[in-house]
Structure 1
Amino acid sequence: MKLTIGHMYPDLLNLYGDRGNIIALKKRCEWRKIDVEIKEIKAGINENFADIDLLFFGGGSDREQKIVSEDLKSKKKNLIKAIEDGMPVLAICGGYQLLGEYYKTLEGNKIEGLGILDAYTVASNKRLIGNIVVEAHLFNKKFYLVGFENHSGKTFLRNCSPLGTVIIGYGNNGEDKKEGCVYKNVYGTYLHGPLLPKNPEMADILIETALSRKYGKINFEPLEDSIEQRAKEAFIKRFMKK
Structure 2
Amino acid sequence: MKLVIGHMYPDLLNLYGDRGNILTLKRRCEWRGIDVEVKPIMVDTKTNFTDVDILFLGGGSDREQKIVSDDLTLKRAKNLKAAINDYLTVLSICGGYQLLGKYYKTGTGNKLPGIGALDAYTVAGNRRMIENVIIEADLNGKKFKMVGFENHSGKTYLENIKPLGIVISGNGNNGEDHMEGAMYKNTYGTYLHGPVLPKNPEFADILIQSAINRKYGKKEIDPLDDSFEHITQNAIIKRFVKK
Q: Give the SS at the match of 1:63.
A: helix
Check conservation: 2:182, 2:188, Cα contact below 8 A: yes
Q: What secondary structure is seen at the aligned counterpart in 2 of 1:33?
A: coil
Instruction: Tell me by how many angstroms 1:85 deviates.
Output: 0.8
Does the 8 A contact of 2:129 with 2:153 survive in 1?
A: yes
**Corresponding residue of 2:22:** 22
**1:133–1:144 Cα contact (<8 Å) kept:** yes
Residue 68 of structure 2 aligns with an amino acid whose one-letter code is V
Equivalent positions of 1:50-89 (< 5 A) are 50-72=50-72, 73-89=74-90
Superposition deviation, residue 89 in structure 1: 0.3
Give the partner amino acid of 2:29. C
| One-letter amino acid matched to 1:28 | R
Q: Residue 125 of structure 1: SS of its match in structure 2? A: strand
2:67 and 2:23 map into 1 onto residues whose CA distance is 25
Alignment of 1:89-104 (within 5 A): 89-104=90-105
Q: Which residue of 2 aligns with 1:190?
A: 191
CA contact (8 A) 2:135 2:147 kept: yes
Question: Is the 1:46–1:74 Cα contact (8 Å) retained in structure 2?
Answer: no
Asked if residue 4 in structure 1 is aligned to residue 10 in structure 2, the reply is: no
**Residue 169 (structure 1) aligned with residue 170 (structure 2):** yes
Q: Which moved further from structure 2: 132-141 or 43-52?
A: 43-52
Once residues 190 and 158 of structure 2 are traced to their aligned partners in structure 1, the CA distance between those partners, rounded to angstroms, is 12
Q: Which residue of 2 is the match for residue 200 of structure 1?
A: 201
What is the TM-score of this pair, normalised by structure 2? 0.98
Partner of 2:116: 115
For the aligned residue pairs, the C-alpha RMSD in angstroms reads 0.8
Answer yes or no: is the 8 Å Cα contact 1:181–1:187 preserved in 2: yes
Do the aligned partners of 1:121 and 1:154 also contact (CA within 8 Å) in 2? yes
Deviation, structure 1 residue 226 = 0.2
Q: Determine the C-alpha separation between the residues in 2 that align with 1:102 and 1:78.
A: 18
Query: Structure 1 residue 77: deviation in Å?
Result: 1.2
Q: Contact (CA 8 Å) 1:6, 1:38: kept in 2 or not? A: yes
The CA distance in 2 between the partners of 1:59 and 1:117, in whole Å, is 16
C-alpha deviations, 1:109-130, integer Å up to 9, x for none? 1001000000000001100110
Q: Which residue of 2 aligns with 1:132?
A: 133
Q: Deviations over 1:2-38 (max 9, x none)?
A: 0000001000001111000000000000000000000
Q: Which residue of 2 aligns with 1:149?
A: 150
Distance in 1 (CA, whole Å) between partners of 2:109 and 2:242 is 39
Q: Secondary structure at the match of 1:16?
A: helix
The amino acid of 1:212's aligned partner reads N
Alpha-carbon distance in structure 2 between the residues aligned to 1:30 and 1:159: 37
CA shift, 1:219, in A, is 2.9
Counterpart CA distance in 1 for 2:45 and 2:227 is 41
- Following TM superposition, where does structure 1 have runs of at least 4 consecutive aligned residues deviating by more than 2 angstroms? none
Indicate if the aligned counterparts of 2:209 and 2:220 stay in contact, CA closer than 8 A.
Answer: no
Is residue 138–residue 144 contact of structure 2 (8 Å, CA) maintained in 1?
yes
Give the Cα separation in 2 of the matches to 1:21 and 1:219: 21
Maintained 8 Å contact 1:101/1:117: yes
Matching of residues 216-227 of structure 1 within 5 Å: 216-227=217-228
Q: Identity over the aligned pairs, expressed in percent?
A: 67
For structure 1, the 5+ residue unaligned runs are: none
